[in-house]
Amino acid sequence: MNLIRLQRMPIATPRVAFAFRVASVLLALFTTAIALSISGRSPVALGAKVISATFGSSFGLEDLALLFSPLVYCGLSVAVALRIGAWNIGAEGQFNFGAFCATGVALFVQGPTWVILPLMALAGMVGGALWILIPTLARAYADVSELITTLLMNFVAILLVYWVATGPWLDPSGMALATTSRLPVSVPALWGIVHWGPLVGIFLAIALALFVTYTRWGYEVRIAGANPGAARYAGMPVKTQLIGIMLLSGAIAGLGGMMEVAGTVGRLQGGISNNYGYIGIMVAVLARAAPIGVLATAFFMAVLLNGGIVLQSQGLTTHTVLAVTGLILLYAAIGDEMAHYKILHPKVKDI
Protein backbone atom coordinates (compact mmCIF):
# COMPACT_ATOMS: atom_id res chain seq x y z
CA MET A 1 0.00 0.00 0.00
CA ASN A 2 1.37 3.32 -1.02
CA LEU A 3 -0.55 6.29 0.35
CA ILE A 4 1.63 9.18 -0.68
CA ARG A 5 4.61 9.44 -2.97
CA LEU A 6 7.05 12.25 -3.53
CA GLN A 7 8.11 13.18 -6.99
CA ARG A 8 10.78 15.69 -7.88
CA MET A 9 9.73 18.25 -10.47
CA PRO A 10 12.29 19.95 -12.71
CA ILE A 11 11.06 23.41 -11.72
CA ALA A 12 9.45 24.61 -8.52
CA THR A 13 6.27 26.64 -8.85
CA PRO A 14 6.87 30.24 -7.71
CA ARG A 15 4.12 30.12 -5.09
CA VAL A 16 5.47 26.99 -3.42
CA ALA A 17 9.01 28.34 -3.59
CA PHE A 18 7.89 31.59 -1.95
CA ALA A 19 6.09 29.69 0.80
CA PHE A 20 9.25 27.70 1.52
CA ARG A 21 11.26 30.95 1.60
CA VAL A 22 8.99 32.47 4.22
CA ALA A 23 8.96 29.24 6.20
CA SER A 24 12.76 29.03 6.16
CA VAL A 25 13.09 32.57 7.50
CA LEU A 26 10.57 31.89 10.28
CA LEU A 27 12.26 28.60 11.14
CA ALA A 28 15.66 30.32 11.33
CA LEU A 29 14.29 32.99 13.67
CA PHE A 30 12.68 30.25 15.75
CA THR A 31 15.98 28.35 15.97
CA THR A 32 17.70 31.57 17.03
CA ALA A 33 15.06 32.10 19.71
CA ILE A 34 15.72 28.61 21.07
CA ALA A 35 19.48 29.20 21.06
CA LEU A 36 18.98 32.52 22.86
CA SER A 37 16.80 30.98 25.55
CA ILE A 38 19.32 28.16 26.06
CA SER A 39 21.99 30.81 26.64
CA GLY A 40 19.76 32.31 29.33
CA ARG A 41 18.31 35.29 27.47
CA SER A 42 14.64 35.89 26.86
CA PRO A 43 14.00 35.83 23.11
CA VAL A 44 10.61 37.50 23.46
CA ALA A 45 12.01 40.42 25.43
CA LEU A 46 14.94 40.76 23.01
CA GLY A 47 12.59 40.64 20.02
CA ALA A 48 10.35 43.30 21.51
CA LYS A 49 13.41 45.41 22.19
CA VAL A 50 14.62 45.05 18.60
CA ILE A 51 11.19 46.01 17.22
CA SER A 52 10.75 49.01 19.49
CA ALA A 53 14.31 50.23 18.93
CA THR A 54 13.88 49.97 15.16
CA PHE A 55 10.34 51.13 14.54
CA GLY A 56 9.61 52.99 17.76
CA SER A 57 11.44 56.19 16.97
CA SER A 58 12.50 58.25 14.00
CA PHE A 59 16.13 57.58 15.01
CA GLY A 60 15.53 53.88 14.61
CA LEU A 61 13.90 54.35 11.23
CA GLU A 62 16.73 56.61 10.07
CA ASP A 63 19.29 54.00 11.11
CA LEU A 64 17.25 51.41 9.27
CA ALA A 65 17.32 53.47 6.08
CA LEU A 66 21.09 53.95 6.40
CA LEU A 67 21.61 50.19 6.82
CA PHE A 68 19.26 49.56 3.91
CA SER A 69 21.48 51.55 1.53
CA PRO A 70 24.62 49.34 1.46
CA LEU A 71 22.52 46.18 1.53
CA VAL A 72 20.52 47.23 -1.54
CA TYR A 73 23.66 48.00 -3.54
CA CYS A 74 25.45 44.81 -2.52
CA GLY A 75 22.30 42.75 -2.98
CA LEU A 76 21.71 44.16 -6.47
CA SER A 77 25.35 43.60 -7.31
CA VAL A 78 25.16 39.90 -6.42
CA ALA A 79 21.70 39.51 -7.96
CA VAL A 80 22.73 40.93 -11.33
CA ALA A 81 25.69 38.55 -11.53
CA LEU A 82 23.51 35.62 -10.48
CA ARG A 83 21.23 36.38 -13.42
CA ILE A 84 23.97 35.29 -15.80
CA GLY A 85 25.04 32.45 -13.54
CA ALA A 86 28.08 34.09 -11.95
CA TRP A 87 28.74 34.14 -8.22
CA ASN A 88 30.02 37.53 -7.16
CA ILE A 89 31.17 36.76 -3.63
CA GLY A 90 33.38 39.82 -3.85
CA ALA A 91 30.83 42.61 -3.36
CA GLU A 92 32.58 43.25 -0.05
CA GLY A 93 35.85 44.01 -1.84
CA GLN A 94 34.26 46.06 -4.62
CA PHE A 95 32.36 48.04 -1.98
CA ASN A 96 35.63 48.78 -0.20
CA PHE A 97 37.55 49.67 -3.33
CA GLY A 98 34.69 51.86 -4.59
CA ALA A 99 34.75 53.69 -1.29
CA PHE A 100 38.52 53.99 -1.59
CA CYS A 101 38.38 55.51 -5.09
CA ALA A 102 35.57 57.88 -4.15
CA THR A 103 37.55 59.03 -1.13
CA GLY A 104 40.56 59.61 -3.34
CA VAL A 105 38.52 61.96 -5.53
CA ALA A 106 37.07 63.79 -2.52
CA LEU A 107 40.44 64.29 -0.86
CA PHE A 108 42.52 65.28 -3.87
CA VAL A 109 40.20 66.97 -6.38
CA GLN A 110 38.98 70.47 -5.66
CA GLY A 111 35.79 71.87 -7.08
CA PRO A 112 32.17 72.68 -6.44
CA THR A 113 30.05 69.97 -4.78
CA TRP A 114 27.89 69.40 -7.84
CA VAL A 115 30.99 68.45 -9.83
CA ILE A 116 32.76 66.46 -7.13
CA LEU A 117 29.82 64.27 -6.09
CA PRO A 118 29.10 62.82 -9.56
CA LEU A 119 32.83 62.43 -10.01
CA MET A 120 32.98 60.47 -6.75
CA ALA A 121 30.08 58.27 -7.82
CA LEU A 122 31.82 57.65 -11.12
CA ALA A 123 35.09 56.85 -9.33
CA GLY A 124 33.25 54.45 -7.04
CA MET A 125 31.66 52.63 -9.95
CA VAL A 126 34.86 52.46 -11.97
CA GLY A 127 36.69 51.26 -8.86
CA GLY A 128 34.16 48.53 -8.22
CA ALA A 129 34.32 47.41 -11.83
CA LEU A 130 38.12 47.43 -11.76
CA TRP A 131 38.13 45.29 -8.63
CA ILE A 132 36.15 42.54 -10.34
CA LEU A 133 38.02 42.90 -13.66
CA ILE A 134 40.65 40.20 -13.08
CA PRO A 135 38.18 37.57 -11.79
CA THR A 136 35.91 38.44 -14.74
CA LEU A 137 38.58 37.99 -17.37
CA ALA A 138 39.82 34.83 -15.66
CA ARG A 139 36.32 33.40 -15.72
CA ALA A 140 35.60 34.45 -19.30
CA TYR A 141 38.87 33.41 -20.92
CA ALA A 142 40.46 30.78 -18.64
CA ASP A 143 37.38 29.30 -17.00
CA VAL A 144 38.71 30.00 -13.51
CA SER A 145 35.90 29.90 -10.95
CA GLU A 146 34.94 33.49 -10.14
CA LEU A 147 33.57 32.33 -6.82
CA ILE A 148 36.94 32.07 -5.12
CA THR A 149 38.83 34.74 -7.04
CA THR A 150 36.24 37.44 -6.27
CA LEU A 151 36.30 36.36 -2.65
CA LEU A 152 40.09 36.52 -2.34
CA MET A 153 40.02 40.10 -3.66
CA ASN A 154 37.88 41.02 -0.64
CA PHE A 155 40.74 40.51 1.76
CA VAL A 156 43.08 42.56 -0.41
CA ALA A 157 40.61 45.47 -0.60
CA ILE A 158 39.95 45.43 3.14
CA LEU A 159 43.69 45.45 3.86
CA LEU A 160 44.18 48.26 1.33
CA VAL A 161 41.53 50.45 2.96
CA TYR A 162 42.97 49.69 6.38
CA TRP A 163 46.42 50.61 5.14
CA VAL A 164 45.48 54.00 3.64
CA ALA A 165 43.28 54.84 6.62
CA THR A 166 46.11 54.19 9.07
CA GLY A 167 48.97 55.33 6.83
CA PRO A 168 49.07 57.66 3.84
CA TRP A 169 45.57 59.14 4.20
CA LEU A 170 45.43 59.19 7.99
CA ASP A 171 43.62 62.21 9.42
CA PRO A 172 46.44 64.77 9.80
CA SER A 173 44.76 66.42 12.80
CA GLY A 174 46.03 63.58 14.98
CA MET A 175 42.65 63.24 16.66
CA ALA A 176 41.60 60.04 14.91
CA LEU A 177 43.31 56.68 14.99
CA ALA A 178 42.37 54.70 11.90
CA THR A 179 40.42 56.97 9.61
CA THR A 180 40.92 59.67 7.00
CA SER A 181 39.89 63.23 7.71
CA ARG A 182 36.26 64.17 7.17
CA LEU A 183 35.47 64.39 3.44
CA PRO A 184 34.89 67.98 2.24
CA VAL A 185 31.72 67.00 0.36
CA SER A 186 28.87 64.72 1.33
CA VAL A 187 25.75 63.31 -0.27
CA PRO A 188 22.93 65.75 0.63
CA ALA A 189 20.42 64.65 3.25
CA LEU A 190 16.86 63.83 2.32
CA TRP A 191 15.20 63.17 5.63
CA GLY A 192 16.90 63.63 9.00
CA ILE A 193 20.32 62.02 8.62
CA VAL A 194 19.20 59.86 5.69
CA HIS A 195 20.95 60.80 2.45
CA TRP A 196 20.16 60.04 -1.19
CA GLY A 197 21.81 56.62 -1.03
CA PRO A 198 18.76 54.48 -0.22
CA LEU A 199 16.55 56.30 -2.73
CA VAL A 200 19.08 55.97 -5.55
CA GLY A 201 19.31 52.30 -4.64
CA ILE A 202 15.54 51.91 -5.03
CA PHE A 203 15.61 53.64 -8.43
CA LEU A 204 18.51 51.44 -9.46
CA ALA A 205 16.55 48.32 -8.52
CA ILE A 206 13.56 49.47 -10.58
CA ALA A 207 15.81 50.31 -13.53
CA LEU A 208 17.49 46.91 -13.35
CA ALA A 209 14.13 45.14 -13.13
CA LEU A 210 12.94 46.96 -16.26
CA PHE A 211 16.22 46.23 -17.99
CA VAL A 212 16.11 42.51 -17.23
CA THR A 213 12.43 42.14 -18.14
CA TYR A 214 11.94 44.43 -21.10
CA THR A 215 15.17 44.88 -23.04
CA ARG A 216 16.68 42.57 -25.55
CA TRP A 217 19.99 42.59 -23.75
CA GLY A 218 18.29 41.70 -20.48
CA TYR A 219 16.50 38.84 -22.19
CA GLU A 220 19.74 37.52 -23.60
CA VAL A 221 21.35 37.76 -20.18
CA ARG A 222 18.57 35.67 -18.68
CA ILE A 223 18.93 33.05 -21.40
CA ALA A 224 22.71 32.99 -21.05
CA GLY A 225 22.31 32.48 -17.32
CA ALA A 226 19.72 29.74 -17.65
CA ASN A 227 21.40 27.80 -20.43
CA PRO A 228 24.73 29.08 -21.74
CA GLY A 229 24.96 26.34 -24.34
CA ALA A 230 21.60 27.20 -25.87
CA ALA A 231 22.42 30.91 -25.81
CA ARG A 232 25.69 30.34 -27.63
CA TYR A 233 23.96 28.12 -30.16
CA ALA A 234 21.38 30.84 -30.79
CA GLY A 235 24.22 33.20 -31.62
CA MET A 236 24.16 35.31 -28.49
CA PRO A 237 27.50 36.83 -27.46
CA VAL A 238 27.61 34.96 -24.15
CA LYS A 239 31.19 35.85 -23.29
CA THR A 240 30.72 39.58 -23.92
CA GLN A 241 27.55 39.53 -21.85
CA LEU A 242 29.26 37.73 -19.01
CA ILE A 243 32.03 40.33 -18.94
CA GLY A 244 29.58 43.23 -19.19
CA ILE A 245 27.29 41.94 -16.45
CA MET A 246 30.11 41.11 -14.07
CA LEU A 247 31.64 44.56 -14.50
CA LEU A 248 28.19 46.08 -13.94
CA SER A 249 27.88 43.97 -10.81
CA GLY A 250 31.19 45.33 -9.52
CA ALA A 251 30.20 48.89 -10.42
CA ILE A 252 26.96 48.65 -8.41
CA ALA A 253 28.81 47.44 -5.33
CA GLY A 254 31.38 50.22 -5.84
CA LEU A 255 28.61 52.82 -5.99
CA GLY A 256 27.32 51.41 -2.70
CA GLY A 257 30.77 51.98 -1.23
CA MET A 258 30.78 55.58 -2.48
CA MET A 259 27.35 56.24 -0.89
CA GLU A 260 28.54 54.75 2.38
CA VAL A 261 31.70 56.82 2.56
CA ALA A 262 30.20 60.06 1.23
CA GLY A 263 26.80 59.75 2.85
CA THR A 264 26.64 57.61 5.96
CA VAL A 265 30.14 57.60 7.43
CA GLY A 266 31.64 60.76 5.96
CA ARG A 267 35.20 59.42 6.08
CA LEU A 268 37.09 56.34 4.97
CA GLN A 269 37.96 53.99 7.80
CA GLY A 270 38.96 50.39 8.28
CA GLY A 271 36.07 47.94 8.32
CA ILE A 272 33.78 50.33 6.48
CA SER A 273 32.09 47.44 4.66
CA ASN A 274 31.10 45.69 7.90
CA ASN A 275 30.18 42.39 6.15
CA TYR A 276 27.65 44.18 3.89
CA GLY A 277 29.04 42.38 0.86
CA TYR A 278 28.55 38.97 2.44
CA ILE A 279 25.06 39.81 3.64
CA GLY A 280 24.38 41.12 0.12
CA ILE A 281 24.79 37.55 -1.14
CA MET A 282 22.08 36.56 1.26
CA VAL A 283 19.87 39.46 0.14
CA ALA A 284 20.21 38.41 -3.51
CA VAL A 285 19.67 34.71 -2.87
CA LEU A 286 16.58 35.27 -0.73
CA ALA A 287 15.17 37.52 -3.45
CA ARG A 288 15.86 34.80 -6.05
CA ALA A 289 18.01 37.38 -7.87
CA ALA A 290 14.98 39.54 -8.71
CA PRO A 291 15.87 43.28 -8.42
CA ILE A 292 12.50 44.28 -6.95
CA GLY A 293 12.68 41.36 -4.54
CA VAL A 294 16.08 42.64 -3.43
CA LEU A 295 14.34 45.75 -2.06
CA ALA A 296 12.20 43.61 0.22
CA THR A 297 14.97 41.29 1.38
CA ALA A 298 17.40 44.17 1.88
CA PHE A 299 14.82 45.81 4.12
CA PHE A 300 14.41 42.59 6.07
CA MET A 301 18.16 42.16 6.49
CA ALA A 302 18.45 45.82 7.55
CA VAL A 303 15.97 45.13 10.35
CA LEU A 304 18.02 42.08 11.32
CA LEU A 305 21.29 44.04 11.31
CA ASN A 306 19.70 46.81 13.32
CA GLY A 307 18.59 44.09 15.71
CA GLY A 308 22.22 43.04 15.92
CA ILE A 309 23.11 46.46 17.29
CA VAL A 310 20.50 45.95 20.00
CA LEU A 311 21.87 42.46 20.70
CA GLN A 312 25.30 44.01 21.14
CA SER A 313 24.05 45.85 24.20
CA GLN A 314 22.99 42.45 25.57
CA GLY A 315 26.49 41.01 25.61
CA LEU A 316 26.36 39.46 22.16
CA THR A 317 28.50 40.53 19.21
CA THR A 318 27.49 41.84 15.80
CA HIS A 319 28.71 38.52 14.49
CA THR A 320 25.67 36.90 16.07
CA VAL A 321 23.65 38.37 13.21
CA LEU A 322 26.02 36.71 10.75
CA ALA A 323 25.22 33.34 12.34
CA VAL A 324 21.48 34.05 12.08
CA THR A 325 22.00 35.04 8.45
CA GLY A 326 23.76 31.76 7.80
CA LEU A 327 20.95 29.86 9.41
CA ILE A 328 18.39 31.55 7.14
CA LEU A 329 20.58 30.80 4.13
CA LEU A 330 20.89 27.13 5.10
CA TYR A 331 17.15 26.71 5.59
CA ALA A 332 16.44 28.65 2.41
CA ALA A 333 18.74 26.37 0.41
CA ILE A 334 17.04 23.31 1.86
CA GLY A 335 13.61 24.84 1.27
CA ASP A 336 14.53 25.60 -2.34
CA GLU A 337 15.22 21.95 -2.97
CA MET A 338 12.15 20.74 -1.10
CA ALA A 339 9.94 23.09 -3.13
CA HIS A 340 10.76 20.91 -6.13
CA TYR A 341 8.91 17.96 -4.67
CA LYS A 342 5.29 17.30 -5.35
CA ILE A 343 3.15 14.98 -3.28
CA LEU A 344 1.39 12.43 -5.42
CA HIS A 345 -1.67 10.50 -4.29
CA PRO A 346 -1.79 7.40 -6.41
CA LYS A 347 -5.44 6.60 -7.08
CA VAL A 348 -4.97 2.87 -7.04
CA LYS A 349 -7.36 0.94 -4.89
CA ASP A 350 -6.08 -1.89 -2.79
CA ILE A 351 -7.92 -5.08 -3.31
Partner 1 sequence: MDIIAGLIQTAFLAGGVLALAALGEVLAERVGVVNLGVEGLIALGAMSAVATVVSTGSAWLGLFVALFVGFCSGMIFATATVIIRANQILCGLALTYIGTGMAATIGKPFSGSPVPVTFEDLHIPLLSDLPFFGRAFFSHNILVYVIFLALPLALHYMMFYTRHGLNMRAVGENPAAADAAGISVMKMRFWYTSLGSALAAGAGAYLTLSFVPSWSEGVVAGRGWIAVALVIFAGFRPINAVLAGLLFGFVTALGFTGQARNWPIASSILSMLPYLGTMALMILPVITWQRMRRLMAAPEGITAPYYRDQR
Residues that bind partner 1 (CB under 8 A): 8, 87, 89, 134, 138, 141-145, 147-149, 151-156, 159-160, 162-163, 166-167, 278, 281-282, 285, 315-317, 319-327, 329-330, 332-334, 336-338
* Planar angle of CA 334, 273, 285, nearest 5 degrees: 20
CA distance 294 to 299: 8
Query: Rounded to the nearest whole angstrom, what is the least distance from the CB of residue 42 to partner 1 in the complex?
Result: 17
Closer residue to partner 1 in complex, CB, 235/315: 315
Closer residue to partner 1 in complex, CB, 141/217: 141
Closer residue to partner 1 in complex, CB, 120/303: 303
Closer residue to partner 1 in complex, CB, 107/160: 160
| Residue 282 buriedness (CB in 10 A; 0-12 / 13-18 / 19+) | buried
What single DSSP character describes residue 343?
E
Query: Rounded to the nearest whole angstrom, what is the least distance from the CB of residue 208 to partner 1 in the complex?
Result: 22
CA distance 101 to 68: 22
Closer residue to partner 1 in complex, CB, 79/151: 151
Strand, helix or coil for residue 143: coil
- Which among 52, 143, 98 has a CA at the least distance from the CA of 249? 98
Query: Rounded to the nearest whole angstrom, what is the least distance from the CB of residue 104 to partner 1 in the complex?
Result: 17
Query: Rounded to the nearest whole angstrom, what is the least distance from the CB of residue 307 to partner 1 in the complex?
Result: 13
Query: Rounded to the nearest whole angstrom, what is the least distance from the CB of residue 132 to partner 1 in the complex?
Result: 12
Closer residue to partner 1 in complex, CB, 186/249: 249
List C-alpha distances in Å: 89 to 3, 27, 86, 276, 280. 44, 25, 9, 11, 9
Query: Rounded to the nearest whole angstrom, what is the least distance from the CB of residue 217 to partner 1 in the complex?
Result: 26
How many C-alpha atoms does 173 have within 13 Å on its Cβ side? 7
